[in-house]
Amino acid sequence: MINKRNLWFLTLFSLILVLSVYYITMPSELLISNDGDYNLEPVSSESEPVVSTNESSILTALRIEAEEKVSSEIEELQAILVNADATPEEKNNAYEKIKSINNVRTEEEKLEKQITDAYSLKSFVKIDGDQIRVVIESDKHDSGIANNIIRLIQKNYDNDKYISVKFQV
């Protein structure tokens, strides 16, 4: 006779078995995320699929490095916010810093979009106080374009900023 425990075991085991068979038989194209600009080359039976991205690896590395730094800083500030021993002033300062970090990230994305819209160039923008660092993905190192990018960025601010533009391949 089958008791409740055995019935539950058989039910869960059969569910796991069905899901495993479904996952194994699913086409591999459904497993690839469509979040980025990926181009999947035709796959032969002997080779692995080749995935290529359209963005420069230098820009990607810069974005990842900046994102890791910002994430760790936000985690530290959030730890202060949830700490029961922290004073209200410390919590308020941590909250204000998180807010300013998010504002800087928004400003960086806005400037990158302006550069892309105006000059059709992929870029990375990093704001650190009154310093703005711009890295442009381009084979051509044109001082005229760099000067125009500096002017475009400076138009967004009332006070003078130290803006540097660097071209990378």
- Residue-by-residue DSSP string for 68-95: HHHHHHHHHHHHHHH-TTS-HHHHHHHH
H helix or E strand, kind and range, residue 131: strand 131-137
DSSP for 1-44, written as a single string: ---HHHHHHHHHHHHHHHHHHHHHHS-GGGGS--SS-EEEPP--
pLDDT of residue 13: 84
Q: 82 pLDDT band (50/70/90 cuts)?
A: confident
**Cα(133)–Cα(165) distance, integer angstroms:** 6
pLDDT of residue 38: 47
Q: In sequence order, what are the residues at sequence separation of 6 or more whose Cβ sits closer than 8 angstroms to the Cβ of residue 132?
A: 111, 125, 126, 153, 161, 162, 163, 164
Q: 17 pLDDT band (50/70/90 cuts)?
A: confident
pTM, full prediction: 0.63
Q: 86 pLDDT band (50/70/90 cuts)?
A: confident
**Homologous superfamily (CATH) for 57-168:** Stage III sporulation protein AH-like (1.10.287.4300)
Q: 6 pLDDT band (50/70/90 cuts)?
A: confident
